[in-house]
Amino acid sequence: MAHDFRKIVSVLAMAISSQGFVFAQDNPEDIALQNDAIENNFYEALKQRAIENYDKAVMAIEQCIELKSDEAAFYYELGKNQLDLKNYTAAEQAFQKSVDLKPNERWYWNGLYDVYYQTKNFEKSIEVVKKLITFDLNMNEDLVSLYMYTNQHDKALALLNEMQKTMVLSEMMEYYRLKIENSERNANLKVEDLEAAIKKDPKNEQLYINLMMFHSANNDENKAFEVAQKLAEEIPNSEWANINLFKFYLQENRADEAIKSMFSIFENNKIDIKIKHRVLNEFLVYVVKTNSHYDELNQAVDYFENDKTINVAKEISKFFYSKANYDKATFYLEKALTNNPNDYESVMLLLDNYVNAQNYEALANRSEILIDLYPSQPKLYYYAGLANNHLGKYKKAVEFLENGLEFVVEDTELEVHFYLQLGEAYRLLKDDKKSKLYYGKAEELVNKKK
């Protein structure tokens, strides 16, 4: 299997350039040696990246670049590894070089976009996305989103109008259009003007909506709720009135009616996501206070499964974690990871939650599975060692801890914890010599920190 993989990589390496690896030397043996060196280093870079040893992958691909400095694919591979290391400047330089060498390769532009998006450099993202649109018209949605992030609503609306000529706008694009239109209505109006208009025409639902949108855009949900209350009084059958009804029903402990209003709010695509977050938060507080309706809370969280602004399930899990309700925290962390399995923060929160819950069986099972997915993450080995120590599997604990120590870099606190767990494992294995050795190493590091 390994031989087949190497053969595939060999073919890939030799095919990176459309001309193959061609050098200016006269000696065919020199050319062959350099070709072998490039192939071997490129193979090594792919292998190290596959096991998340990004530093070593960088070193290997830099060797390829030294031998052939005009190969765009090498700089692209370098950029990916630098990005995973969060070396954003180095990643940008590498991707830019690949773009300069091969400007018609879409994936190289995608690399630049990843850097700018992760660093929230939306202005540069806009220029890259404009280029990506020439490869894929669906990138127009990204451009609209970037215009919204940078408050260029006029450009966003113009692009939405162009898109609508040839396609049906997605729900998110329709939401942006509504937000822009409401913003434009409010642009020349002060709060006082809107309030005066409502007094003059109290049955005009759009005036209340405009005022609510205005307050929501300014992150003042309290005032938005006050406007919803007035709307409910004047126009009880308004969908927007559910915002006020929800609050009223909760205060009156009429849970079933509050839940009905809550789901009506969630299903209304015209209501700002911030208001929906506020509604969910108030329901969460009510559920915990009354210790009831957890099933409905779970259903409510599911409404935010595709929320791009916040990982709602993770935030709910943090709330329960802060309340030392580890079972609920675990439940919502599992849900968060179902929605986003690559969220490493959620992974670590889940394992830490198992520790606090003293659920060492679950900690052992999950950490051992995760080591196969993230083989260079030392904390996973630590958790596996800790769990197996508590489960009485001391030899297994030692194996994980000693393997994991190899990946600890410039993290003294974690290194101390490794040594303490190794000292404990060897003590229980009745190997006093090694137990004292590791306890001594832990003490030495602690004293250095003082």
Interval 41-86: pLDDT, tens: 887 888 787 777 888 889 988 988 888 888 888 899 999 999 988 8
Residue 260: helix, strand or coil by DSSP? helix
In this structure, the number of other CB atoms found within 10 A of the CB of residue 95 comes to 29
Greater pLDDT, 257 or 25: 257
Kindly tell me the burial class for residue 190, based on how many C-beta atoms sit within 10 Å of its own C-beta (0-12, 13-18, 19 or more). Answer: exposed
Q: Considering the chain, what percentage of its residues have pLDDT values greater than 90?
A: 29
CB 389 within 8 A of CB 428: yes
CB 50 within 8 A of CB 376: no
Running DSSP on this structure, what letter comes out for residue 241? Answer: G
pTM: 0.50
What type of residue sits at position 318?
K
Interval 228-240: pLDDT, tens: 788 878 887 777 7
Q: Given this model, what pLDDT does residue 15 score? A: 35
Mean pLDDT computed over 408-431: 91
Q: Considering the chain, what percentage of its residues have pLDDT values greater than 70?
A: 89
- Cα distances from 327 to residues 320, 348, 349, 355, in angstroms, run 8, 16, 13, 12
Greater pLDDT, 340 or 261: 261
Is residue 409 over pLDDT 60?
A: yes
Tokens 């990871």 locate to: 337
CB 180 within 8 A of CB 153: yes
Q: Given this model, what pLDDT does residue 35 score? A: 65
State how far the Cα of 421 lies from the Cα of 51, in Å rounded to an integer.
25
Give the residue from 62, 69, 67, 71 showing the smallest Cα distance to 15. Answer: 71
Mean pLDDT computed over 252-269: 89
Half-sphere exposure of 171 (CA within 13 A, CB side): 10
Greater pLDDT, 245 or 64: 64
Interval 22-47: pLDDT, tens: 333 344 444 444 567 777 788 788 87
CB 398 within 8 A of CB 422: yes
Mean pLDDT computed over 200-219: 80
Interval 172-208: pLDDT, tens: 788 788 777 766 555 555 677 888 888 999 888 888 8
419 Cβ contact list (under 8 Å, min separation 6): 438, 439, 441, 442, 445
pLDDT band at 367, cuts 50/70/90?
very high
Q: Given this model, what pLDDT does residue 231 score? A: 84
Task: Go through the domains of the chain in sequence order and give each one's CATH number.
Answer: 2-124 (1.25.40.10), 136-185 (no CATH), 189-310 (1.25.40), 359-450 (1.25.40.10)
Q: Given this model, what pLDDT does residue 221 score? A: 66
What type of residue sits at position 171?
E
Interval 319-351: pLDDT, tens: 888 888 888 999 999 888 887 877 888 888 899
What tokens were used for 73?
């694919």
Greater pLDDT, 207 or 421: 421
State how far the Cα of 140 lies from the Cα of 160, in Å rounded to an integer.
9
pLDDT band at 296, cuts 50/70/90?
very high
What is the rounded average pLDDT for all residues in the chain? 82
What type of residue sits at position 311?
N
What type of residue sits at position 358?
Q
259-262 LR contacts (CB < 8 Å, sep 24+): 259/283, 259/293, 259/296, 262/300
